[in-house]
Amino acid sequence: MSAVEQKHVTADEAGMRLDRWFKAHYPGLGFGRLQKLLRTGQVRVDGKRVEASTRVAKGQMIRIPPLGVELPADDKKNAKPKSTKLIADDRKAIEEMLLFEDNQVMVLNKPAGLAVQGGSGLKRHLDGMLDAFTDRKGNKPRLVHRLDRETSGIILVARTRQAAQELTKSFRHRNTRKIYWTMLAGVPKPKQGRISTFLARSEAEERMQVVRQGDDDAQHAVSFYSVFEQSAQKLSWVTMKPVTGRTHQLRAHAAHIGHPIIGDDKYFNIENWELPGGIQNRLHLLARRIVIPHPSGHGKIDVSAPLPPHMQQTWNLLGFNASDYDPEADDPDETVIKR
């Protein structure tokens, strides 16, 4: 595409987040690139600057600058289709990840190393694999949220647009309980607490950094944590609960309090710290459990994911038993660690 385009939001697209609208129309456009286009005002809705989380309405006009990415979704009929074998392989891989499924929702256990969405140089990612579940009407399951590529654990997928809207609404209104398991360097003090900061993306380092309120692109981020087990003063098994859903939030918050996540190549900031023998230098972060109202309006979805192999190896080495954890155990107190 070599010129600016203007596209109207259709009735079927009303209520979609802007980033998901772009993902549907321009699958080759990475989330980071979209964020930059939004920050610089190159993407606008009805002539106004907007954010990735902005929800579009029927009839609104979206300004699209030259992107230089893959064909838009409308032109996919001209693109080379996936082979039958690749579709079958993707379907089998998704089925092996399934933790829960009904006619509205799929809950998957994403392995570490699998990207959730496409980006530069990525040929295989979860969103693309979900093409294997597209029905005869062309309806494809929709991702409801994201995990970092190296984070393992629970991902929610909506099987219908209505389910996607209801699940997204639960995230937006914070009616969702998310619990992460992680292994941190050292032992946080106090052992239970609340971390409150403002985060902004550092383009140069491709990571989030703690900034002051009012700084450019600063977004408030709140997390709770609780130490469950520790190995002397060297390592600690910590549960973390994000209240907000910022990019790399838990990773940035763990580093901010001086106890970064083991294996985090972006945020581990302790000089001359040696990894204990037998522990793999991979990100020790698991999206362990989610509790969210079912999109039907009846009951709740409550699903837990097992430890991935590299984390299970660490738990075994340290003598920690995942089955000892009571998911309804004491929540962190209101001690505030903030800047």
DSSP state of 247: T
**Among the ranges given (27-31, 261-265, 332-336), the one the predictor scored with the smallest mean pLDDT:** 332-336
**Contact at 8 Å (CB) between 132 and 149?**
no
Sequence-ordered alpha helix ranges (H) in the chain: 18-25, 31-39, 84-97, 126-129, 161-172, 249-256, 309-318
Gap between the Cα atoms of 258 and 281, Å rounded = 18
Q: Which of 148, 215, 216, 330 is catalytic?
A: 148
Gap between the Cα atoms of 262 and 337, Å rounded = 21
**Is there a catalytic annotation at residue 148?**
yes
- Mean pLDDT score of the chain: 87
The torsion angles phi and psi of 237, rounded to 5 degrees, stand at -85, 120
Of 291 and 83, the structure prediction assigns the larger pLDDT to: 291
Of 125 and 76, the structure prediction assigns the larger pLDDT to: 125
Percent of the chain with pLDDT over 90: 61
Gap between the Cα atoms of 312 and 300, Å rounded = 28
The H or E element spanning position 250 is helix 249-256
Tell me what pLDDT residue 120 has. 62
Location of structure tokens 């837990």: 304
Gap between the Cα atoms of 209 and 253, Å rounded = 9
Tell me what pLDDT residue 154 has. 97
Q: What is the largest CA-CA distance in the chain?
A: 60
Greatest mean pLDDT range, 120-124, 134-138, 289-293: 289-293
Tell me what pLDDT residue 61 has. 93
**Among the ranges given (127-131, 165-169, 335-339), the one the predictor scored with the smallest mean pLDDT:** 335-339
Reported as a single tens digit per residue, the pLDDT across 132-180 is 998 877 788 999 999 999 999 999 999 988 899 899 999 988 889 999 9
Task: Report the chain's C-alpha Rg in angstroms.
Answer: 21
**pLDDT exceeds cutoff 90 at 307:** yes
CATH topology of domain 84-158: Pseudouridine synthase (3.30.2350)
The H or E element spanning position 61 is strand 61-64
The torsion angles phi and psi of 172, rounded to 5 degrees, stand at -65, -40
The torsion angles phi and psi of 170, rounded to 5 degrees, stand at -65, -40
Tell me what pLDDT residue 268 has. 96
Average pLDDT of span 313-330: 79
Residues of the chain with CATH 3.10.290.10: 5-64
Average pLDDT of span 216-222: 92
Give the pair of three-digit tokens for residue 331: 């929540």
| Residues with Cβ within 8 Å of residue 175, at least 6 apart in sequence | 292, 293
Q: Is the peptide bond before 190 cis (omega within 30 degrees of 0)?
A: yes
At residue 91 the predicted structure's pLDDT band, cuts being 50, 70 and 90, is very high
Strands 285-293 and 152-158: parallel
Q: What single-letter amino acid sits at 84?
A: T
**pLDDT exceeds cutoff 90 at 101:** yes
Tell me what pLDDT residue 320 has. 95
Average pLDDT of span 193-203: 92
- Write down the CATH superfamily of domain 172-338: Pseudouridine synthase (3.30.2350.10)
Distance from chain centroid for Cα 306: 18
Residues of the chain with CATH 3.30.2350.10: 84-158, 172-338
CATH topology of domain 5-64: 3.10.290
**Contact at 8 Å (CB) between 132 and 87?**
yes
Distance from chain centroid for Cα 52: 14
Tell me what pLDDT residue 172 has. 87
Q: What single-letter amino acid sits at 37?
A: L
Tell me what pLDDT residue 326 has. 55
**Contact at 8 Å (CB) between 180 and 239?**
yes
Q: What single-letter amino acid sits at 42?
A: Q
Gap between the Cα atoms of 13 and 326, Å rounded = 41
Tell me what pLDDT residue 24 has. 79
Q: What single-letter amino acid sits at 100?
A: F
At residue 339 the predicted structure's pLDDT band, cuts being 50, 70 and 90, is very low
Reported as a single tens digit per residue, the pLDDT across 46-88 is 999 999 989 898 889 999 998 865 444 444 444 456 678 788 8
Q: What single-letter amino acid sits at 312?
A: Q
Give the pair of three-digit tokens for residue 282: 């991979």
Percent of the chain with pLDDT over 70: 90
Of 334 and 202, the structure prediction assigns the larger pLDDT to: 202
